[in-house]
Amino acid sequence: MNNGQYCSLSIDHCALNSLLLLDKPHGLSSHSAVHRIRKITGEERVGHAGTLDPMATGVLVILLGSAVRLSEWIVDHDKKYRATVKLGVETDTYDATGNVTQTSSVKRQSEEIRAVLETFVGKQEQIPPAHSAIQIQGKRAYKLARQGVEIEMQPRAIEIFSITNVEIENENVTFDVHCSKGTYIRSLAHDIGAKLGTGAHLAALRRTASGNFLIEQSLTLEQVSDAIAQNNLGKFLLPMDVAVSRFDAVYLNEAQTRALRNGQFIPAPQNLTTPLVRAYDEHNQLFAILERVSGNQLKPKKVLAQ
């Protein structure tokens, strides 16, 4: 993403097609963060991409207006975190919000801890926590877990690209982790404790990057409110097409825009290289995400503007 590519229009216009990077505070759910942004900005269509647990802080991509329809492509990114794992204490949620299920003494040398951390780098199968939002037979796993229902969570393929900047202080192990989408850092903490034989849980978590969206670009809720009061939030908003900039672009005339709005196919340019294509209307506004068909046609996959 071009870090300097911010929306320079007024908030009234930008809110229809923008991304806002929020530094989510501790204790607030992602859903509640969306509610707060909706109330602060007055924009009704607000969503988020890449859920953060209430105890976690950091980058939460907020979608404003038509950008909510791009969420499926925004979550398809790797993530970076600063995590603190507390050894010697296990909880039922694998993090500091849960009930303690087991404790043990921690007698491990720093070299041993670092060596175990290194074994988690690479492609692997990870079992998500039972206390998670994963659907199990149409119900959220955490709801079943709270009811005392025994749940067999299925492993999923993830990749941990790196674990760096490790700091060890007594029972607390803090590190930066770069991982694929779908990775549960709570499960990583639990698995580290299991491998060390000490047990562990996630004590603190801060997301520092979601794809190319960085914590340095993110605003706190207070900063969002201040920007609204000063009528300059627009300079912090990102055009929604930065979320799909990896797709090829086509520029449409009025007849093509009308055809796509009616669900019709249009001819595809010969120089396209990506399966999905971002389409701009005759006013140079992002209009739709298109899908290539048989190499020489484009069909609407998702029309953003109505």
> Poorest-confidence range of 149-163, 172-186, 204-218?
149-163
Say yes or no: 67 and 148 in one domain. Answer: no
Say yes or no: 19 and 109 in one domain. Answer: no
Say yes or no: 49 and 110 in one domain. Answer: no
User: In this predicted model, what pLDDT tens digit does every residue of 222-248 receive, in sequence order?
Assistant: 999 999 999 999 999 999 999 899 999
Residue 3 lies in a domain: no
Say yes or no: 103 and 172 in one domain. Answer: yes
Task: Give the model's pLDDT for residue 143.
Answer: 58
Say yes or no: 200 and 269 in one domain. Answer: no
Say yes or no: 172 and 93 in one domain. Answer: yes
End-to-end CA distance of the chain: give it in Å, rounded.
Answer: 27
Asked if 53 is an active-site residue, the reply is yes
> 210 with 216: CB under 8 angstroms?
no
Residue 71 lies in a domain: yes
User: In this predicted model, what pLDDT tens digit does every residue of 81-123 receive, in sequence order?
Assistant: 999 999 999 999 999 999 999 999 998 999 999 999 999 999 9
Say yes or no: 95 and 179 in one domain. Answer: yes
Q: What is the CATH number of the domain that holds 298?
A: 2.30.130.10
Residue 1 lies in a domain: no
Say yes or no: 128 and 50 in one domain. Answer: no
**Percent of the chain topping pLDDT 90:** 75
Residue 4 lies in a domain: no
Confidence of residue 165 (pLDDT cuts 50, 70, 90): very high
Residue 145 lies in a domain: yes
User: In this predicted model, what pLDDT tens digit does every residue of 61-91 receive, in sequence order?
Assistant: 999 999 999 988 888 789 999 999 999 999 9
On the question of pLDDT at 5 being above 50, the answer is: no
On the question of pLDDT at 256 being above 90, the answer is: yes
Say yes or no: 126 and 234 in one domain. Answer: no
Residue numbers of the domain that contains 256: 247-303
Task: Give the model's pLDDT for residue 271.
Answer: 87
On the question of pLDDT at 279 being above 70, the answer is: yes
Residue 255 lies in a domain: yes
- As a whole number, mean pLDDT of residues 39-56 equals 91
User: In this predicted model, what pLDDT tens digit does every residue of 183-220 receive, in sequence order?
Assistant: 999 999 999 999 999 999 999 999 999 999 999 999 99
Task: Give the model's pLDDT for residue 305.
Answer: 62
Higher pLDDT, 145 or 179: 179
On the question of pLDDT at 23 being above 80, the answer is: yes
Task: Give the model's pLDDT for residue 132.
Answer: 58
Say yes or no: 72 and 114 in one domain. Answer: no
Structure pTM? 0.86
Name the domain boundary from 191, 222, 240. 240
Task: Give the model's pLDDT for residue 136.
Answer: 58
Task: Give the model's pLDDT for residue 149.
Answer: 60
Residue 5 lies in a domain: no
Task: Give the model's pLDDT for residue 295.
Answer: 73
Domain count, the chain: 3
Task: Give the model's pLDDT for residue 4.
Answer: 40
Q: What is the CATH number of the domain that holds 40?
A: 3.30.2350.10
Considering 23, 53, 95, 191, which one is annotated as catalytic? 53
Confidence of residue 1 (pLDDT cuts 50, 70, 90): very low
